[in-house]
Structures are given as C-alpha cells and as structure tokens.
Structure 1
Amino acid sequence: MRLLPLFVFWCLWFLNFSSRTCFSPLLPLIEDNLLLSHGQAGGLFTSYAFGYGLALLVTGRFVSIWGYRRTVVMGFLGLTSLLVLLQWTESYVMFHLVMFGLGLSAGTYMPSILSIITETYDPKDWGKAIGIHDSAASFSIFSMPVLVTLGLGFLPWRSLLLFLAGGCLLLPFLFWKVSKEPRGDGRKGAVRYRDILTKRTTWVIGLLWVFSAACNMGVYSILPLYLIKERGMDFVLANTFFGISRAGGIFVSILAGVLTDRFGYPRMLRWSLATTGLSTIGLALSSNPTQILIALIFQATCSLAFFPVGLAAISRLTPLAERSLTLAIGIAMGMVFGTGGSPFVLGLVADHASFQIGILFLGILTTLCVFSIRFLEQPLHPGPGISPPS
C-alpha cells in the first residue's frame, strides 16, 4: 500500500470532520452566550446536517462530471471561507446560516474521496485503506475536546477556528500533487437518482447509517450538555471525560477495516451495530462518574466501528458509476436524520424529560437494526464471508 496518499487523505478527512466536531465541546459556551435552550443549541447541528446532506446528494450525482479531485478542493475552500466568517457571526440566525454553509462545503468530500481511494488501492486492501482513512474521524472526535479545552486557556473560541481554517486552505495543494482522478467505467452520466432509490440496498444502508450516526455523532453533539447540565459536572471535567472516552475510536476504525477484509462486511455489520446499540443502552443506565466514564469509553469506541465497515460494504455492493451516489444517499439520510436530527430530538426529550431517556431508546432501536442486514443485495466484488452474485 502507498502510504503518502493515504496519509494526505487521512489529514483531509481529519480537517473536514473537525469542521463539525470542534463545535461540540464549545456548545455549552455557545448556548450560554446566545441564551439558547437545549433544543435550540442542538438545532445548530441540524442546520449543518441539512447542508451536508444536500451537498452529498448533489455531489454524488455530478462529481463524475465536475471531477473528483476538483470537488474535494472546492469543498475545502468553502470550509476555509466560512470558518473565517464565524469571526463576525453574532446572531442565532446567522449562526444557523454559517453552520448550513459549513455542512454544504464539508459534504462534498466523502462522495469524491471514496472513489479516489478505491482507484488508488487494490480491492483486497479496500477495507484496510478505508479503515485507516476513517480513523481520522475517530482522532478528530478524540482530540477536539482536548484541543479546545487547552486552546481556550490562551485564545477566544473564535480565534481557535482560524487554525482549522489555515489547514483547510493549505492541505488541498498537497492533495492535488499525490492524488489521481478515478477512471470512468463507461457509464458516466448514466446513473440517476431513480436508479439508486429503487434498490433495496440503498434503503438498508441508509437505515443503518441513521442509527449509527445518531449513536455516534448525535450523542457526541449533546454529550457536553448531558454531562454538565444533567449530570452536574464542571466544564473542564466534562470535556476531559469527553476526550478520554474517544481515544479507543482511533484504533477501532483501523481494526474494523482489517477485520472486514478478513471476515467480510455482513458479519462485521452485525457485530458493529449490536455493540453500538448495547453500549448506548449502557451509557444511559450509568449513574456515578466511574460508571459514566467506563460506559463512555465503550460507547464511543463501539459506535465508530460501523462506518469503515459501511463504506467497505458500499464499495463491494456497487460499481464505480453508482458508488458515489449510493454513498451520498446513504450518508445523507444518516446525516440529516441521524447526525442532525438526533441532537434536536434528544434536546427536545431533555427539555420535557431527560437526556437519559432519549439515549436509552436510541440504543434500543439501534440494536434492533441488526435484523435489517439480511435484506442487503448480493455484492459485485466478492470477499471473505461473501457469496458472489448469481
């Protein structure tokens, strides 16, 4: 495996993902500064999610026409501009618009990079390459609370975002040098939304992504509020717990990719969803700080295992011409209803009852999603534990 391109892809995904995760540890400060309720604060992520979902749907359809590499670069230029614009954003409405724009810019990345990765590496290495690449998201989830907490001791929170903007501006130049454009498979421009939406696999992948994203980024988004407002922890301790609990995710993404190459995606999908759901239930039922920390570590680690497995599954279930759009629709569903919708719903549940009840029911529903995996269609690229299409 060529390591330099993979390292650059990893750094790009870290910056892209951090354009969202950097706001989670800042949410209690934003909530207090703008005098928001829990539901209103969680709604900021909903705006990001709608922008992200829209970008996925449009990019997935047209990226083969625009160019995969060009689309990645344009998305990062958008992230740079909007992170700078946040320096002068004061109103709640303007915050929503900027979050929508950040989602719109960030959402162009994944439909483009998956095809670039599968073009760069052999099918036998797809699981490992995708797993290593996806570990950047895990590292972002782990590191952002720690970096934000440290950075706030020296700079205002808006100034911290300028470091992220600088990385988003500079790294695409290196990406352009080490990446190569995917070759077409003779079906350029032929795939329509209807072609993808009539396939059962698209809806199963979308369902799995909704609940996995809700358990991962949905819970992540409201976790500081849950720990500080409902569990009574102070800001520094809550963000310390927040960061420590995410450390294991860095390795589980890589491990999940390796195990997918070894055992096949059907078995790994079942394992990842079951452990995600059960660990989320455990988080809801934890009471004292020690139990909460242990539950956080398990929940954060397990909830990240699905994503590299899901990406590998899409790569094996679809041809190149359909891959970006299938990925876009599946992730868009997960982003809008899982990543974006769940913080809002959990916030509303907390306003009327508690975060604990919302997290408990989310874990139960995620565990039940295991039974939907049997409805996935036969793969085009057989691998371990997978039967070839008849």
Structure 2
Amino acid sequence: MITHSAQPSRSFVALLVAMLALVVMLNFVDRGAIGIAAPLMSKALGLSATRFGVAVSAFFWTYGLAQPFVGMVADRWRAGLVLAAAVALWAAATLLTSLAASLSMLIALRLALGLGEAALFPATSKLIAAYVPVDRRGLANAVIAVGLALGPALGTLAGGVILAHYGWRWVFFGFGVVTLAWTGPWALLVARLPVAVVRGQPDRPSPIRQLLARRTLWVMGAAHALANYGFFFVAAWLPLYLVKSRGLSISTMTLFATATYAAQAVASLGWGWLADRLVRRGGAPSAVKRWLCVVAELGSVAGIAAIALAHGPALLFVALIVTGVFLGCLPTMVYALGQFHAGARDAAGWIGVQNAIGSVSGIIGPIVTGLIVDATGSFSGAFAFAAVVSAAGAAVFAFAVP
C-alpha cells in the first residue's frame, strides 16, 4: 500500500490535476497542428493524401515504441521531472516544424515530437494513481480527458485563425512557444510534491517482464488501440475532410471542427462524473468503466456513419456533435481502467505499454486512410473502415476486458 512522506492537501491535488489537464491539452494542440495546417501545408509541400498520412503516422513510430521505456523511467524516477523534460522536447519539435521544407524534414520533426509526447500519459497516470483516491479517479481522468478534447478544440480554433491570416508555419511556431511556457509553473509545482513511499522505503515497481506476463495488460492494449482509431481518425483528418470533400471554407471548417472537440470536452466531464457516481453507489470500478466504453464505441459507430452520410451542413454539424459526445468517453475510461488494473506502483509502466499498443492505430490508421482516399478519390471507404474498427472495440470491451 502506498503512503506519502507528506500527503498533499486536496487543493494541491486539484492544482496538480489541473496542470496535468493543461499539458494534455497542449499535447493535443501540438500533435494536432499538422491536421489544422493540412489544407495549406499539403499544397505547399506537395503532399498527396498518402504522403500526408505517412507524416501523421511518423509521430506514432517513436510515440508508441518509446512509451514502455519512458514508463519504466517514470516509475523509477520522479514522474513530474520526467514529464518536464519531455514537454520541453516536444515544444521544441513543434516550434521547429514551422521551418519544415520537405516531407523528410517533416517526418524527422514528427519523430522528435512523438518521442517527447511519449512520456505524457505514463507520467500522468503515475501521478494520478499515486495521489488521487480511487473513488475520485474517474473525475480526475475526466478532467484530463477534457484537456485531451479541448486541445483539438482550442487548437483548431486558434490554429484556424492563424492559418487564415498568417499561414501554416505560424501555427507551429505559436503553439510551440505556448507549450514551452508551461514548464516554468510546472517545475515550481513539482518541487513541492512529496515522494511516494511504501513502509518508509521508495516504492519499487514490478519488472517489465512481470507486467508483460499479465494477460489483462495485453487485452487493455488491444482495447485501447481499437478505441483510439476513431479518435485519431477524426483528429487527424477532420479539417482536411471538411475542406476538401465537403467544400467548407477554412473559417467554417474551424467552427465545425471546434464544436466537435468542444462537445467531446464537455461530454468527458459528464462521463467521468457518471462513472464515479456509479462506483460510489456500489458498482465495480472495472465493470462500470468497461460497459461505458461499450456504449461509447457503439455510439461512435453511429456518429462516424452519420458524418459520412449526412446531407447538408446542418445534419453534418449534428453528426459531428454526436460523434464528439461519444468519443469523449473513451479516453476517460481507457486510462482509468489501466490505472485500476495496474495499481499505483506500476501505473506508469503499465500505461506505457498499454498506450504503446494503443498507438498501433496511430501508426496504421493514417496510412490506411491515405491509401483509401488516394485509391478511391473519396473518404467514404475510410469512414466505413473506422466504423468497423469501433464496432470491434465494443466487442472487446464487452467480452474480453476484465
């Protein structure tokens, strides 16, 4: 059982969670900048849909592969300091993307961005599992998920304005500077955070081989990958789809995409509140969260299909909002489930492996989408494939996740 050298106050924990939510928001602002800039950047750099998909995918090559190792580091060293160094790296990569002049340079910077962002969820999960009581982790993860959803929302809103008035390069430069500024207040907060101990000794996490021997970890990784597919699909391709396929202006695209991500952010809080309420009323934490994931995956199937089939801007807007509401549940519950099964001691290492497996969708999905779009000249097949993956996710959560 984990205790602390000096248990932080409830207000301090709330500040900790708020700062984590803020950096998660910045994380998705920065990784999603490529999607926002795509309408102008693809033309400037001569990127086909497939080449653009490769650039999006490159982020996940390092992001996925590095997470188990970064998770082990965050379990053995102070997770807050590991996070600070990682944020500085990804902020620099974002800023330097403003100078990209070719696909190869863009891929190199996306690899650096992925390496930096790889520390985010392992370190965040370690901190939440160590300092937030189990009956409040649903809401804590929901607050984190709000940051996750607000990142694309605010990023699309701010990035769309910057894109329309100043061009795509200033999107990356501005986002990188803002993220770098977060590291100062965070360093001050981490300096006041007590170190987790067990019976007076530093808490020793399980060796990675013991984690990898647990079937539940692999099942959660598979569920995470399936849950991620729809989220990554919408985050990476929605701006380009709305402009190229639906013929929306950049300003209208900005409004529609921002509303989608804002709905996801608001819904994340609602899903987290509902999960905690059901647990406090006697529901088993794992069962509550996995069945909410089933509902969310099935809702995502309906929403993704509705986006592809909607006629006219009004119905398209409604379909986007519905999709955002259901996508808002999945990050909240997937990370909460991982933290529950891992325990505080192994949270960073577990989430590192789980998120690495979950990143397979980010590696494969953008390339698959790009190939489908280039081969057919339409996004219809890509939407159909995303809906099938989400349906498979519902089945895994219902019948395989413990």
Cα distance in structure 1, aligned partners of 2:231 and 2:352: 19
Q: Retained in 2: the 8 A contact 1:10–1:134?
A: yes
Query: Which of residues 111, 118, 124 in structure 2 aligns to 1:107?
Result: 118
CA-to-partner distance for each residue in 1:41-79, whole Å, 9 max, x for gaps?
121110011121123121112222232111101101102
> Structure 1 stretch 99-108 or stretch 85-94: which is displaced more?
85-94
SS in structure 2 of the partner of residue 321 of structure 1: coil
Name the structure 1 match of 2:237: 222
CA-to-partner distance for each residue in 1:10-48, whole Å, 9 max, x for gaps?
211111221111221111211101111111112111001
Q: Retained in 1: the 8 A contact 2:59–2:110?
A: yes
Cα distance in structure 2, aligned partners of 1:131 and 1:219: 20
What 5-or-longer segments of structure 1 have no aligned partner? 378-390
Query: Which of residues 373, 380, 385 in structure 2 aligns to 1:356?
Result: 380
Deviation, structure 1 residue 282: 2.0
Whether 1:253 and 2:268 are equivalent positions in the alignment is yes
* Shift in CA distance, 124/42, structure 1 to aligned 2, threshold 3 Å: same
Name the structure 2 match of 1:375: 400
Deviation, structure 1 residue 189: 5.2
TM-score by length of 2: 0.87
Cα distance in structure 1, aligned partners of 2:56 and 2:87: 19
Deviation, structure 1 residue 253: 1.1
Cα distance in structure 2, aligned partners of 1:227 and 1:164: 22
Name the structure 2 match of 1:155: 166
* Shift in CA distance, 296/182, structure 1 to aligned 2, threshold 3 Å: farther
Letter in structure 1 aligned against 2:342: T
Cα distance in structure 2, aligned partners of 1:272 and 1:222: 20
* Shift in CA distance, 190/369, structure 1 to aligned 2, threshold 3 Å: closer
The percentage of aligned residue pairs carrying the same residue is 19
Deviation, structure 1 residue 187: 6.0
Cα distance in structure 2, aligned partners of 1:81 and 1:228: 29
Letter in structure 2 aligned against 1:109: L
Deviation, structure 1 residue 275: 1.3
What 5-or-longer segments of structure 2 have no aligned partner? 1-9, 279-287
Name the structure 2 match of 1:317: 341
Name the structure 2 match of 1:381: none
Letter in structure 2 aligned against 1:188: R
Name the structure 1 match of 2:4: none
Deviation, structure 1 residue 127: 0.8
Q: Which runs of 4+ in 1 moved over 6 A?
A: none
Name the structure 1 match of 2:313: 289
CA-to-partner distance for each residue in 1:270-300, whole Å, 9 max, x for gaps?
2222212222222222233222211111112
Q: Retained in 2: the 8 A contact 1:209–1:338?
A: no
Name the structure 1 match of 2:5: none
Aligned length: 375
Deviation, structure 1 residue 184: 4.7
Deviation, structure 1 residue 92: 1.0
SS in structure 1 of the partner of residue 196 of structure 2: coil
Cα distance in structure 1, aligned partners of 2:393 and 2:94: 36
Letter in structure 1 aligned against 2:196: R
Whether 1:341 and 2:356 are equivalent positions in the alignment is no
Deviation, structure 1 residue 154: 4.0
Letter in structure 1 aligned against 2:372: V
Query: Which of residues 104, 122, 131 in structure 2 aligns to 1:120?
Result: 131
Cα distance in structure 2, aligned partners of 1:164 and 1:190: 37
Whether 1:53 and 2:78 are equivalent positions in the alignment is no
Give the alignment of 1:1-390 within 5 angstroms: 1-2=10-11, 3-179=14-190, 180=193, 182-185=195-198, 188=204, 190-192=206-208, 194-263=209-278, 264-335=288-359, 337-353=360-376, 354-373=378-397, 374-377=399-402
